[in-house]
Amino acid sequence: MTPAMRTGPGPSSGTPAPARLLRAVGRPLSSLPLAAAVRGAVALATPLLVGVLTGWVVPPVFATIGALWAVGQDGSDPYRSRVGRFVALGLSASLGLAGGQLALRNGPSAVVTACLVVAALVAGAIGLRGRIWSVAGMHLLLGVTIGSGIPVPGPWWQAPLALFAGVGFVLVLSAAPWLLRRHQIERAALFAVFRAASTALAAAGTPGAAETRRHLTDALDNAHQAMDRHLTAARRQPPDARVEPLLRAFRLAVRLGEAVTTLQWEARPLPAVVSRVPLVMSARLLPVRNDGAVPVRPDFAPDSPGLRALARLSVTAGAERVDTALDAPASPRPARQAHLRYAVLLALCVLAAQVCAGLLHSPRAYWLPMTVAFVYKPDFGPVFRRALHRCVGTVVGVAAIGAVSMAIHSTYAFIGVVAFFGALMAVGVRHHYALATTGLTAVVFVLVDLLGDHRALYGARILDTTLAAALVLVVHFVAWPRSAGSRADCRTEAALAAAHRYRDLSPIVGPDRRQALRRDAYRQLADARRAAVHARREPVLRGTELPDWERAITSAEELCDAVTARALHAAPGPAPQTTVSVASSHAM
């Protein structure tokens, strides 16, 4: 039962996976997502406890499966985004589970296999179209895999409804804080912008300036996503009194981003007091209590456009309304050929896994195709690393649940074990996929046991996982070895085009449009940098020279910084005319 856990770019590929796993486990307590861990424990244990108390076990087990998948999609993004993701997950997984059950109940093994292959084709066709589609496609395939691999007593519609209820339970737990802290996510995103701006100002004129500027632009992009609903509503009608301070803070944060970028572009170390200005602004704009606090004017002499802009922002914070109706930029997507190729290869891997599963331990051989469905997600990160982490997590999870099974025998104790590993999985989703897989594997063993399968499958599950990972790696790197490189090429080309568009249009458009172009450029450059990191973590043939995507991206970032500084200087003359291209920046 593998949720679609998305992980961003992790540590350097030179660090061994076990060492990174131990580092993730050893994070300071303050950095762990304790609220998410509690949600994971409650979401997985509650349905099982209800089932044991009522004697009605099967539906609660499937509700726990739905909760398991939903915990893998839980996050700290805006509530509206979570709702869309959970709804897509619940509907697609329930539909897949119903289809798989009908195929298992009414047809021979060939029908089950055909159902799996069709589901894989659909999942692959829609899986590269964006986050929501990716989640829906993967869980459609997972639902079919579970439905066609586990005979379920009772009406065919009962398990899908229970699974959807489990997803809904996680949605309620995840969105419940909205009732008490209505705008906490927006406030946290805005505070992150001002903190990142403070760090960036402190790094001005140092070698680490570029990295802090990237963190600032990422924080601005996250703030825009968090504020998008309020910005859209504010264009139609005046905002209420609770939202207006957030909009004012966001508008100033956008202007602050330009000022900080300009100060970094000037490449001069700044007085320490300057780096505290964004924090003073945040205290004024987003006070913890409405005590009417007045900001302290920083003691420095503004002698550059960046400092003058920063001084104006710090003194007039909130006094001036700037409409920043920024349109969310469209992210580049793979070409239709990539969608088709991924769909065919995913279907081929699922077919091979199903055949191997039937030969190894039929009829309850869902683990192999299920593992393939999860591992083969090139849009979620390097395929090789995902396969490796899946194997490591499975081995550790099997060892952990095996040790626990020898020590305890009470059903209620096993529910406590599910709660513990559910919390571990919720932490792993945010920090390390192998850690998430460890928790997930242990939970699945308990669920399978509650469904009546008491076989000792420890060695079989390790074998299944290893075989499924090997199938994916062989098919993927034989038939599509340039997958990650092509994605990096695509995103880099799109990012460079966005940077050139910002350069060309910035001198002739208004501030609102300039901000939209700036956000588009920096966001796509960040996406391109992540794609390049992923591509370098995939194995390549000996002697293959990868393009120098990073140099092209860095040059484009420097171009955007110069354009931003030019706009703030408002100096006469043409905009910088540096042209950056993928072809000219590296050897193909």
What's the CA gap between 362 and 287, in Å, rounded? 62
Phi then psi for residue 499, to 5 deg, are -65, -45
Q: Tokens 């599963």 sit at which residue? A: 357
Q: What tens-digit pLDDT sequence spans the chain (588 residues)?
A: 433 333 333 333 444 555 555 554 445 544 678 888 999 999 999 999 999 898 888 999 999 999 999 999 887 777 788 888 999 999 999 999 999 999 998 878 889 999 999 999 999 999 888 889 999 999 999 999 999 888 888 898 999 999 999 999 999 998 887 777 778 888 888 889 999 999 988 888 888 888 998 899 888 888 888 888 888 777 787 777 778 888 888 888 888 888 888 888 888 888 888 888 888 888 877 765 443 333 444 444 445 566 666 655 544 443 343 344 444 344 455 567 888 889 999 999 999 999 898 887 655 578 999 999 999 998 888 899 999 999 999 999 999 998 998 888 888 999 999 999 999 999 988 888 899 999 999 999 999 888 877 777 888 889 999 999 999 999 988 888 888 888 888 899 999 999 999 988 888 888 888 888 888 898 899 889 999 988 888 887 776 778 888 889 988 988 888 888 888 775 444 445 555 555 444 433
What stretches of 267-304 show up as alpha helix (H) in DSSP?
272-275, 277-285
The burial of 399, by beta-carbon neighbours within 10 Å (0-12 exposed, 13-18 middle, 19 or more buried), is given as middle
Cα end-to-end span (Å), the chain: 41
Q: What is the signed CA dihedral for 192, 197, 198, 200, rounded to 10 degrees?
A: 120
- Does the pTM of the predicted model rise above 0.85? no
List Cβ<8 Å contacts ≥24 apart for 476-483: 476/345, 476/349, 476/376, 476/378, 476/383, 477/539, 479/341, 479/345, 480/341, 480/342, 480/345, 481/540, 481/541, 483/338, 483/378, 483/383, 483/538
Q: Is it true that the peptide bond before 153 is cis, omega within 30 degrees of 0?
A: no
Q: What is the signed CA dihedral for 550, 554, 556, 558, rounded to 10 degrees?
A: 180
